[in-house]
Chain A
């Protein structure tokens, strides 16, 4: 069976150059980067070279990069790290209604521990209005945490504007850029952001790797206490292989992100336009243009997303209906609900996210397969107008 992977916002395949780069660290380069001797020294060099690559990609200083195990851990470190830092007396945090569970649930946890959290709404495109962030600020607001690009819709938040508001108010600004990193230009030299989360496996590196950029002067409390690794901000022997992989990925991206992204955008647009031309009654969820170049989220009206997803899986096409939950079953997306989507439409929503490795022929095959499945399911649906008419006749 033909297999097509359109779920790059969930995870990505490992780039062959990344695989080459980590190979020595799976054999002769086994040392502990904290060791003084030769075995540690060489590995330490690999870790620090990677730190430099990541810093160069984001436009910050190497020592501002804290490596961690995932985007989720990095979000937790940012949010709880600020909340629990020494001398902090502020008890209020501002975030949005469409954050990733890593941010959402870290904030809910803090609510159980004496903090107040304002979840600002989004407009119908899933975008936060900077003014609503400004209005949410209180004298004891300590942190604004708003994602850069939304994982489900791809909508891009006005982070430069929100960051400027944070600066003006003297509040720490964090952004979860797990989905945006590598898909849109991010330059911390000009971006007023104090902390930024990134992940390895969303950019063709390895699962189990991620990191938080903490700009100079921002104090956070460590959550994992242990050795002095990552300058005391994250104890535990470094995930050397994961870090080296990220270094390579971000190096590749710095060199050729622009061309790669243009190609992915072309394929995504071809896919999106193809679907809208072939299939009636589709709804685009998310902003038409202010959107990650690889993502398209569509509601197939009169069809359940779950049935679509499973049928497409059986035809070899991998896509998603949003964040997977523990049991692997599907609920109407809270993100689409926050955008004010019709609940029935939200249940019929699917996210397609393209990436490195996809081709024109993937796009053409997928359009045909989706068309077939939608027609089949609409024929079974008592709600679909033509089915209704047929039954009436």
Chain B
């Protein structure tokens, strides 16, 4: 890799900064880049702690100054709107709870940036993700969860197939967070104390509805029902709810009630007891497998239905361009719109987007 050029995607955080540093130590000619995705001044005043705000761009620039590498901010606002924000808004209106970070990885970090790498004569793109890519002599690449389970981000990367992984690097993927901070501190990078980024970058947890309203989505009051169709109350708009939610329902009942389903077409929220949030299986579409194809028509895997889900053994059956995962034991809050990611041990096999879940009728 001596002298070979690579783009290091910098968020202004400690992980991507150390990633750039490590690449430089390995002998790469590193070009620091950040993505200008969105006019964050439109969202909220304080965007500290998320990807890509102006303050973060400043930090990224100072890291590149410290590494003495060039730094460019690439304008990808059109792509971000088209590939991330528009689908995010669309998903909500169909009653799903979308995961924009996966779309951003798939379309921005590892598609648009690879195109930029071509334009700038670079071999590939590196980020600060915690996940591991193994390169086999044949050229085939496999994707694994990070050894540091508390930091593992492989869930967000399931849609990267081997062909693309060949040009992607996760230099901090096998380290643990403390080690990354220590490297940053020893190298004098000005970001070693920064706190973790948390929220989705263009919207904070408490401003979803405001964001969606501004995106032209009108909210309408509707009925809150139980599974058998009894009216329990009214809601202010389906956007405000997500499957598995318990708080903020405003319904008094003998036992705690949870959102078990959202019917956007009929503008209805369905509540149920804790037991009724359990699903025995889930179907997923828009599938992607790292190797390019599922391992078999029917296979065993560990399924994760959301980020930080510990994973559950499942039997997976391919059904045309969809799959059905039947869990060994029923899972709580399987939410349409989230990704279903399949693992064989630590290895990411692939996954898809949850379309519907089958409630446990126990």
Contact = CB atoms under 8 A, between A and B. Distances in A.
Interface of A: 304, 306-307, 310-311, 313-314, 326-331, 376-377, 380
A329 B119 contact: no
Residue among B36, B70, B75, B118 having the largest count of chain A Cβ atoms under 10 Å: B75
Interface string B59-80: 0000000000010111101000
Interface in B129-171: none
Contacts of A306: 74-75
B75 A311 contact: no
Given A326-B54, A327-B54, A380-B118, A313 B70 contact: yes
A329 B118 contact: no
Shortest 10 CB-CB distances between A and B: which pairs?
A329-B36, A329-B73, A307-B119, A329-B75, A328-B73, A330-B75, A327-B73, A327-B36, A380-B118, A310-B72
Interface in B104-129: 116, 118-121
B73 A307 contact: no
Contact of A311 (B36, B57, B73, B119): B119
Contact of A314 (B36, B77, B120): B120
18 contacts: A304-B119, A306-B75, A307-B116, A307-B119, A310-B72, A310-B119, A311-B120, A311-B121, A313-B70, A314-B121, A327-B36, A327-B73, A328-B73, A329-B36, A330-B75, A377-B119, A380-B118, A380-B119
Contacts of B74: 306, 329
Nearest to A379: B118
Interface in B74-111: 74-75, 77
Given A307-B119, A326-B54, 7 more contacts: A304-B119, A310-B120, A311-B119, A311-B121, A314-B120, A327-B57, A329-B75
Residue among B77, B118, B119 having the largest count of chain A Cβ atoms under 10 Å: B119
A307 B75 contact: no
Contacts of B70: 313-314
A93 B272 CA distance: 63
Contacts of A377: 119
A377 B31 CA distance: 18
A386 to B, nearest CB: 17
Interface of B: 31, 36, 54, 57, 70, 72-75, 77, 116, 118-121
Contact of A331 (B31, B54, B75, B119): B75
A159 B8 CA distance: 48
A304 B120 CA distance: 12
A334 B355 CA distance: 43
A199 B72 CA distance: 28
A127 B232 CA distance: 66
Give the interface SS of chain A, mostly helix, strand, loop or mixed. Answer: helix
B155 to A, nearest CB: 29
A281 B60 CA distance: 37
Nearest to A303: B119
A166 to B, nearest CB: 36
Contacts of A326: 54
Contact of A307 (B54, B77, B120): B120
Nearest to A307: B119
A306 B74 CA distance: 8
Nearest to A330: B75
A91 B67 CA distance: 52
A306 B119 CA distance: 10
A328 B118 CA distance: 21
Contacts of B77: 331
Nearest to A313: B70
A311 B73 CA distance: 14
Contacts of A314: 31, 70, 120-121
A376 B119 CA distance: 8
A331 B36 CA distance: 10
Contacts of A376: 121
A281 B54 CA distance: 36
A122 B280 CA distance: 65
Contacts of A331: 75, 77
A45 to B, nearest CB: 41
Contacts of A380: 118-119
Contacts of A329: 36, 73-75
Contacts of A330: 75
A285 to B, nearest CB: 19
B64 to A, nearest CB: 12
A329 B71 CA distance: 11
B82 to A, nearest CB: 15
Contacts of B36: 327, 329
Contacts of B118: 380
A310 B77 CA distance: 18
A246 B225 CA distance: 76
Contacts of A310: 72, 119-120
A173 to B, nearest CB: 35
A350 to B, nearest CB: 14
Contacts of B31: 314
A108 to B, nearest CB: 15
A306 B73 CA distance: 10
A243 B107 CA distance: 52
A336 to B, nearest CB: 15
Contacts of B121: 311, 314, 376
Nearest to A381: B119
Contacts of A311: 119-121
